[in-house]
Structure formats: C-alpha cells, structure tokens
Structure 1
C-alpha cells in the first residue's frame, strides 16, 4: 500500500465511487458481501487498492497545502517538479494564528515587527504525491491557495 486506508467516514462519502471501482473489477454488491464474509483478506486488499487510487487522484490534483498552528504558518504551492514554501513565524506569544481576532490582526498588520517571513523552493526529494501525503499526515490541509497567493504577493 502506497498511502493509507481511507477512514470509514471517507469510504462512506465515496460509496458511489467504490461501487464503480468494484464494477470495474466485475464485482457486484452481492459478490462484495460474499467476499467480505468469506475472504476478508481479499476485501482488505480491494479497499487498499481503492484507497491508493483515491489518494493518488486527490494528490495529483493538489496544488496548495496549508498548515497553520499557534505561532507558525506553512503555506505550500505544489507544482509538478518542485514545492514552494512560505513560512510565517509569529514571535508574539500572546497572539495565535488559530484565534480569529489574532488572525484578523495579522491580516491588518502583516509587516509588524513580531512577524517573520521566509520563502523557499525545492525540487521534490522523492515521489511528489508521497511528499504531499506526508505533509497532509503531519497536519497540512489541501487548500485553494488564496492565502499562499496573498502572502506571496505581499512579500515579493
């Protein structure tokens, strides 16, 4: 398995897609129930294959990731060959990027002395999608890139 199994909630959301996936393997609903009961190892393998297919599709379409914590923000732009990162450090420990009023303060005061910016770009060390998956597993979320684009224009 390249990634990880989808959660039960994710699988429930993708029920229709999973049914189509099984159909491509010539497995109908009745046969799937039988496989789950009589051969759970095969059922687990099918779920693993489906999970990898879904993750691969999602990660291939991913262009931006955000990871926001109390005093740090990591914003990533993920091209095909390299990843660009904007790192923002909030040195004022009385404020938090996770608090709405503090985030609004940050937006209004982006050049305050308590805020540091760093920007870098690097080629992927290994498989692009695996690197993005690792970032997601560490807490990054897929985004549309609005924050990355805004901050990038601000500091360039």
Structure 2
C-alpha cells in the first residue's frame, strides 16, 4: 500500500465511487458482501487499492498545504518538482489557532515579534508521498491564499 487506507467515514462519503470501483473489478453487491464475510484479505486488498487511487487523485491536485500551531505557521506551495515553504513564528504569547490571533497576524505581518522565513527544495521522494507525509503530520490542504499573501509580503 502506497499511502494509508481511507477511514470508515471517508469510505462512507465515497460510497458511490467505491461501488463503481468494485463494479470495474466485476464485483457486484452480493459478491462484495460474500467477500467481506469469507475472504477478509481480498476485501482489505480491494479497499487498499481504492484508497491509493483516491489519495493519488487528491494529492495530484494539491498545490498548497498549511500547518498552524499556537505560535507558528508553516505554509507550503507544492509545484511539480519543488516544494516552497514560508515559515512564520510569532515571539509573544498569542494563539494563532484562535480567530483573534490569526487576524492579528494577518494585520501585523511585519511586526517586530514576527519572524518570517522562506525556502524551497526539490522533493526527496515522490511528490505525492511528500505531500501525504505533510498531511499525516497535521497539515491541511489549502487554496493557497495565505501562502501567496505572505510570499508577496516577503518578496
């Protein structure tokens, strides 16, 4: 397995897509019910293959990711061959996870208590695997507005 199996909730939300996937494997509802009961390893294999397909599709379309903590933000732009990072650290007692703290940062990006760093690197591994690793470590896929805002400020 390339990534990880989708959660039960993710499978439920992708019920019709999973049904289409099983149909493409010539597995109907009756047969799937039987496989789940009698051939658990085959059922797991089918779920793993579907999970990898979904993850690959989502990650291939991902251009930005972000990770917030109480006093720092890591923003990522994921190009085809390189990943760009804007790291922001606020050096006073603020909570960027709360609306008030986030709004303060957006209004005061050049405050003396704010350190902003910028960098880039080529991917060490396959692009999608590196983005998946960011997600597994707590990053969220984003539209990139915050990355582009800070990238413009420091350019």
| Stretches of structure 2 lacking an aligned partner (at least 5 in a row) | none
Give the drift of 1:12: 0.2
- SS state at 1:43 partner: helix
Give the drift of 1:105: 1.2
Q: Which residue of 2 aligns with 1:19?
A: 19
TM-score with structure 2 setting the length: 0.98
TM-score with structure 1 setting the length: 0.98
- How far apart, in 2, do the equivalents of 1:133 and 1:62 lie? 10
Q: Which residue of 1 aligns with 2:39?
A: 39
Q: Which residue of 1 aligns with 2:74?
A: 74
Equivalences, count: 155
Please list every run of at least 4 consecutive aligned residues from structure 1 whose deviation after the TM superposition is greater than 2 angstroms. Answer: none
| Stretches of structure 1 lacking an aligned partner (at least 5 in a row) | none
- How far apart, in 2, do the equivalents of 1:33 and 1:138 lie? 35
Q: Which residue of 1 aligns with 2:129?
A: 130
Q: How does 1:1-156 map to 2 (within 5 A)?
A: 1-92=1-92, 94-156=93-155
Residues 115-135 of structure 1: CA deviation (Å, up to 9, x unaligned): 000000100001111100000
The alignment's C-alpha RMSD in Å is 0.6
Give the drift of 1:109: 1.0
- How far apart, in 2, do the equivalents of 1:105 and 1:44 lie? 47
